[in-house]
Structure 1
Amino acid sequence: MTLSIEQNTCIKCKKCVQVCPANIFIQKKNKEAIELQYIDSCIVCGHCVDVCPTNSVLHSEFPLENVHTIDYSYMPDPDRLMELIKSRRSNRTITTRPVPKEMLDKIVEAANCAPTATNAQTVSFTVITDPAKLRQVSDYTINVFNSLAKFLLNPVIKCLLKPFMKDVYKYVPTFERLKQEHAAGNDPILRKATALLFIHTPKSNRFGSEDSNLAYQNASLMAQALGVSQIYMGFVLTAIKQEKKDTLAKGLGIDGKIHAIMALGMPAFRYPKYADRKPAKYQLI
């Protein structure tokens, strides 16, 4: 990696100094030349390149052909953005029509644009559309829940744990209902989704969950904008956390830890209205 300042075009505006999270850019006095220090501490975030009005920051990781001017007039206004956010629902009226690849590509691209801690950019994505693999995910989830239910209902275990784990035991009837619906072919786990988006990171990423869920939010809003149904796969994630053996990841060829899963499909219809949520619990201190 190389980083330098083209002093002939630099207007010494100090914007790069203000935005660099690693404090690489310094200006000892106003209007003096921008200098560089601790270049090895660069996290390759690109803030310096993007903020420079004269393209005077030369960074080997951000050639000029990869840097784009922002057209702020093209941005949705706050009211339109809020309308998109408020209209987002888990639409489970999924049809058999597959999600077009170009839509899947846009959803993944949006997810990939999310920020990551220390700009590590170690979030990866796996999209499953193979019906056999989708069934594998459902089977896995039901099997984990079935094993958990058998354990919890063991007379000795139940006597010992139920007084202290009432919140867990209230889900046992739900596990049985899911098992019955799954056996009947009703797909209570994936809700007949035609695609699953797995968001995962290397196990060494300390902020993998945070990074992945930021990516999920971007993907969710893009799916909403495209008219694609999206459903958070809480049951599958619960099964993964319960089992703790990475069985599903290995079975799907995913290298790393799965942190978020989104079911995707083309809806039979879109909601014409949205109901207000409870007022935010909000305080300004």
Structure 2
Amino acid sequence: MDTIGVNDASCIRCGRCVKVCPSQIFVQEKAGGDVTLHKPENCILCGHCVAACPTGSVNHAEFPAERVHAVDYGAMPTPEQVELLLAVRRSNRALSARPVPQELLDRIVAAADRAPTASNARQLGYTLVTDAAQLRAVTEYTLGIFGTLEKRLLHPLVRPWLSRLVPGVYRYVPVFKRLRREYAEGRDRVLRGATAVLFIHAPRESRFGAEDGNLAYENASLMAEALGVSQIYMGFVLTAVRQDRKAKLAAMLGLGDRRICAVMALGMPQFRYPNYIDRAPAPVTRK
């Protein structure tokens, strides 16, 4: 069958598909007129046309009837509920030893996968690590990169000019030392005892891989909070990845030539925060 078609018998010619299609495939010469197709091969498979059609008249090979669901807007969370979810979400680093149930991990990944991507490219991939040995390897990889970076920063030929060009970078040297010392003493301050780590990755040539990855991260983060799962943005791991020209972590995870764009540690909290706070609002410029 063709990828896209319009059922003329049930189409009410409302023009919604015309208005929402980013590829301008749907054409309506005048209001209330017939809807025709122009270069359907340009379809980016976003599904806007199917989602917008009130009569189910858009037939799309990628979105058969069993993959199309009516929206009950009455069941949607209220703005106040969304604001509360945003307000209470925090990086809770007080994690228990209990593993995150697999069904919760699946829902978190599914939420990430619902995020929009540039041009609906959907090039993101997800790697979920729950094996204890691999989790330790992630921490040790991160500390190893930091050790190498520390040596570079403290090199007597590098430090004089780098301290002037990027003075703030040297505040991380004692952090690197402390992370390695505490890990040697049995305290992992990188993963914080997380029982799962989610890696979000994209093809290395993807122009918007980092942006897409962070949109997906936000979806996953909000779902984790709603499920009562602690989530922590793994800035240390991501920093190590960006400093590693040999992409050793990607190789360790079997990602081939894919680029890690975002990293989330997950665990079951020892407790949930009983309060949320109001931060000082950011300045907004209106023009």
TM > 0.5 fold call: yes
Deviates more, 1:86-95 or 1:1-10: 1-10
Could you report, residue by residue, the CA deviation over 1:191-218 in whole angstroms, capped at 9, with x for unpaired residues? 0100000000111211100000000000
> How far apart are 1:77 and its partner, in Å?
0.2
Could you report, residue by residue, the CA deviation over 1:149-195 in whole angstroms, capped at 9, with x for unpaired residues? 11211222223322222111121111111110111110010001000
Distance in 1 between residues matched to 2:162 and 2:34, nearest whole Å: 68
Distance 1:158 1:270, change over 3 A: same
Distance in 2 between residues matched to 1:202 and 1:156, nearest whole Å: 36
Structure 2 residue 235 is the aligned partner of structure 1 residue 250: no
> How far apart are 1:29 and its partner, in Å?
1.4
Distance in 2 between residues matched to 1:62 and 1:149, nearest whole Å: 52
Structure 2 residue 31 is the aligned partner of structure 1 residue 30: yes
One-letter code aligned to 2:137: Q
- The residue that corresponds to 1:278 in the other structure is 280
* Alignment TM-score, normalising by the size of structure 1: 0.98
Deviates more, 1:142-151 or 1:214-223: 142-151
Could you report, residue by residue, the CA deviation over 1:230-276 in whole angstroms, capped at 9, with x for unpaired residues? 00000000011111221001111123110000000000000000111
Unaligned runs of 5+ in 1: none
Structure 2 residue 266 is the aligned partner of structure 1 residue 264: yes
One-letter code aligned to 2:113: N
Structure 2 residue 139 is the aligned partner of structure 1 residue 120: no
> How far apart are 1:283 and its partner, in Å?
2.4
SS at match of 1:171: helix
SS at match of 1:196: strand
SS at match of 1:155: coil
What aligned pairs does 1:162-201 form with structure 2 within 5 A after superposition?
A: 162-201=163-202
Could you report, residue by residue, the CA deviation over 1:71-102 in whole angstroms, capped at 9, with x for unpaired residues? 11111100011000000000011010000000
Distance in 1 between residues matched to 2:3 and 2:154, nearest whole Å: 62
One-letter code aligned to 2:285: Q
* Alignment TM-score, normalising by the size of structure 2: 0.97
SS at match of 1:163: helix
What aligned pairs does 1:1-285 form with structure 2 within 5 A after superposition?
A: 2-255=3-256, 256-285=258-287
Distance in 2 between residues matched to 1:2 and 1:232, nearest whole Å: 40
Unaligned runs of 5+ in 2: none
One-letter code aligned to 1:259: C
Structure 1 residue ranges (4+ consecutive) displaced by more than 6 angstroms after TM superposition: none
Percent same amino acid at aligned positions?
A: 53
One-letter code aligned to 1:190: L
Distance in 2 between residues matched to 1:106 and 1:190, nearest whole Å: 21
Could you report, residue by residue, the CA deviation over 1:87-133 in whole angstroms, capped at 9, with x for unpaired residues? 00000110100000000000000000000000011111010000100
One-letter code aligned to 1:112: D
SS at match of 2:217: helix
Q: How many residues align?
A: 285
One-letter code aligned to 2:274: P
